[in-house]
């Protein structure tokens, strides 16, 4: 269980340089740090895109249209007899494509923390396929329980799925008035309403600012806490939307004023950045030589964690200048980046506007231990 659910945004996660697996103690630091974040570490040039968030959508869909389907599966360079992991099953778009490319002896193990995703996976009747109801940060332990210590490829398609956004009762969207839940895993953890009921104004402002890049974060936090102090618990998306609308005086044309606040709360409630930072080193440990990692991010906060992790593992030469060491003794790269980042084509974006902020990064494991 990841600690710090109700803490403020973790400053180590917001400062990409610090999200390095090189220090084993970093993960402990990520887990334990609950203190107020250093707001000076805020991502200045980030380009948080709200498209994968419920809030920016003006249309609804009942199913999930898989993003970068061909590109992501191709990036895995599937070996027919290999073992693959889909860390974010969703509605199984990528999983099905991976299975198509696997031979009779191949295996695919999928993960999802959402029970409705697990339920939908029952449609896949294939002995090569299994699914685990778990957050992907539990991947290494779950695979170890299955006797698997190495895999040939791992895919993460981050964020939430269209069914999660479009099902009112999940509380991800301000388009519906519903209980303010926002948990991907409704079987455990605290809801967004629980968080709003117990947090402080300062922590709330930091969550909204850091994860939503909302310039009216302080005003929104103040308005929410004032409502709570007046004895009105904030328990519905409708209530929250109204409070935010009253606190935000300027917002992007065509965008609901609550867009950024909803995104921030969702990221916080689901510890999305912590999950990713904890999972990257596990991917490294799990990948066999030439194994591939493919990650689709939907906003710059997650993409930055992936980019920095790959970069740190690819350029392991951060010794001080003139450090007396022979070239042959320098730490060798454990990962190499594969190609440039891949984005959806104009055709894909036209067909599926929710794909428009997607970025796919691919890396390959070297044989360095
Ligand atoms: C964008 S969807 C994936 C869609 C999928 N690739 C498809 O083609 O249908 C993301 C899925 O990952 C799940 N998810 C997100 N973060 C997770 C985490 N940390 N652990 C496990 N599942 C997660 C969500 O519940 C959601 O079902």
Which of 89, 183, 302 maximizes ligand 1 atoms within 8 Å of its Cβ, making it the mutation to test the pocket? Answer: 89
For 40-51, the pLDDT digits (tens) are 222 223 333 333
Residues with CB under 6 A from ligand 1: 64, 66, 88, 90-94, 111-114, 117, 135-136, 157, 159-161, 184, 275
Which pLDDT score is estimated for 8? 61
φ/ψ (deg, to 5) at 36: -60, 135
Instruction: For residues 156 and 367, give the distance between their C-alpha atoms in angstroms, rounded to a whole number.
Output: 22
Nearest to 299 by CA among 256, 263, 262: 263
**β-strands 107-112, 83-86 pairing:** parallel
What does pTM read for this prediction?
A: 0.86
Output the pLDDT for position 32. 30
Which run of H or of E encompasses 119?
helix 115-120
* Under 8 Å between Cβ of 196 and 234: yes
Nearest C-alpha to atom 18 of ligand 1 is from which residue? 135
Whether residue 68 is predicted with pLDDT greater than 90 in this model: the reply is yes
Residue to mutate (ligand 1; options 54, 115, 184; most atoms within 8 A of CB): 184
Residues 6+ apart with CB under 8 A from 340: none
pLDDT in tens, 135-181: 999 999 999 999 999 999 999 999 999 999 999 999 999 999 999 99
Number of the ligand 1 atom closest to the C-alpha atom of 271: 19
Q: Residue 13 has what pLDDT?
A: 63
Q: How are strands ordered across the β-sheet holding 151-157?
A: 129-133, 107-112, 83-86, 151-157, 287-297, 359-365, 335-337
Q: Please, what is the Cα angle at 293 between 292 and 296, to 5 degrees?
A: 140
Centre of ligand 1 from the C-alpha of residue 154, in Å: 13
**Residues 84, 331: Cα–Cα separation, whole Å:** 28
**What is the C-alpha separation between 149 and 60, in angstroms, rounded?**
40
Q: What are the pLDDT digits (tens) for 180-212? A: 999 999 999 999 999 999 999 999 999 999 999
The C-alpha R_g of the chain, in whole angstroms, comes to: 21
Structure token pair of residue 280: 């990257």
CB 240 within 8 A of CB 261: yes
Atom of ligand 1 nearest to the CA of 117: 27
The 10 Å Cβ neighbour count of residue 14 is 23
> Given ligand 1 and candidates 61, 90, 356, which is best to mutate, with the most ligand atoms within 8 Å of its CB?
90
Burial 93-112 (b: 16+ CB within 10 A, else e): bbbbbbbebbeeebbbbbbb
103 Cβ contact partners less than 8 Å away, ≥ 6 residues apart: 80, 81
The alpha carbon of residue 204 and the mean position of all alpha carbons in its chain are separated, in whole angstroms, by 20
Ligand 1 atom index nearest CA of 155: 6
Residue 49, pLDDT score: 37
Lowest-pLDDT range, 34-38, 104-108, 257-261?
Answer: 34-38
Dihedral angle over CA of 114, 118, 119, 122, nearest 10: 170
158 Cα: distance to centroid of ligand 1 (angstroms): 6
269-301: pLDDT as tens digits: 999 999 999 999 999 999 999 999 999 999 999
Q: Tell me, what's the pLDDT at 345?
A: 98
CA distances from 130 to 16, 66, 112, 230 (A): 34, 20, 11, 49
**CA 280 – CA 267 distance, rounded (Å):** 18
Q: Which of 84, 93, 95, 161 gets mutated to test ligand 1 (max ligand atoms within 8 A of its CB)?
A: 161
What's the pLDDT score for residue 43? 28
Ordered by where they begin, the domains of the chain are 69-162+290-365 (3.40.50.150), 186-269 (1.10.150.170)
Q: What is the mean pLDDT of the chain?
A: 86
| Gap between the Cα atoms of 281 and 285, Å rounded | 6
CA distance 26 to 48: 25
Contact 258, 269 (CB under 8 A): no
Q: Among the atoms of ligand 1, which is closest to the Cα of residue 66?
A: 8
Q: Which two tokens stand for residue 250?
A: 């300027």
What's the gap in Å between 312 CA and the centre of ligand 1?
25
Ligand 1 center from residue 25 Cα (angstroms): 28
d(CA 297, CA 359): 5
């Amino acid at each position: 269980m990841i600690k710090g659910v109700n803490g403020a945004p973790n400053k180590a996660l917001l400062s990409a340089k610090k999200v390095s697996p090189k220090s084993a103690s970093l993960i402990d630091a990520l887990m334990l740090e609950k203190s107020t974040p250093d707001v000076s570490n805020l991502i200045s040039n980030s380009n948080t895109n709200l498209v994968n968030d419920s809030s920016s959508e003006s249309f609804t869909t009942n199913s999930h249209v898989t993003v970068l389907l061909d590109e992501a599966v191709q990036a895995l360079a599937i070996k027919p007899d290999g073992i693959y992991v889909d860390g974010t099953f969703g509605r199984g778009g990528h999983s099905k494509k991976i299975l198509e490319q696997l031979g009779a002896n191949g295996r695919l193990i999928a993960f999802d923390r959402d029970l409705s995703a697990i339920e939908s996976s029952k449609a896949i009747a294939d002995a090569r396929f299994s699914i685990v109801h778990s957050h992907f940060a539990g991947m290494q332990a779950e695979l170890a329980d299955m006797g698997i210590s190495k895999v040939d490829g791992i895919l993460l398609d981050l964020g939430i799925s269209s069914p999660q956004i479009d099902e009112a009762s999940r509380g991800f969207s301000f388009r519906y008035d519903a209980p303010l839940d926002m948990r991907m895993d409704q079987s455990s953890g605290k809801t967004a309403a629980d968080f709003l009921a117990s947090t402080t104004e300062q922590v709330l402002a930091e969550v909204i600012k850091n994860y939503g890049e909302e310039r009216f974060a302080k005003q929104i936090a103040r308005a929410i806490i004032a409502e709570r102090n007046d004895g009105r618990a904030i328990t519905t998306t409708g209530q929250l939307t109204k409070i935010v609308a009253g606190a935000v005086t300027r917002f992007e044309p065509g965008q609901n004023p609550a867009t950024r606040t909803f995104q921030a709360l969702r990221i916080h409630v689901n510890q999305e950045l912590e999950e990713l930072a904890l999972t990257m080193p596990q991917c490294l440990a799990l990948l066999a030589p030439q194994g591939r990692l493919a990650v689709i991010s939907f906003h710059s906060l997650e993409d930055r964690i992936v980019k920095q992790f790959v970069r740190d593992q690819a350029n392991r030469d951060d010794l001080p200048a003139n450090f007396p060491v022979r070239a042959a003794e320098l730490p060798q790269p454990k990962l190499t980046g594969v190609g440039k980042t891949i984005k959806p084509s104009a055709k894909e974006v036209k067909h599926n506007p929710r794909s428009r902020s997607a970025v796919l990064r691919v890396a390959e494991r070297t044989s360095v231990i």
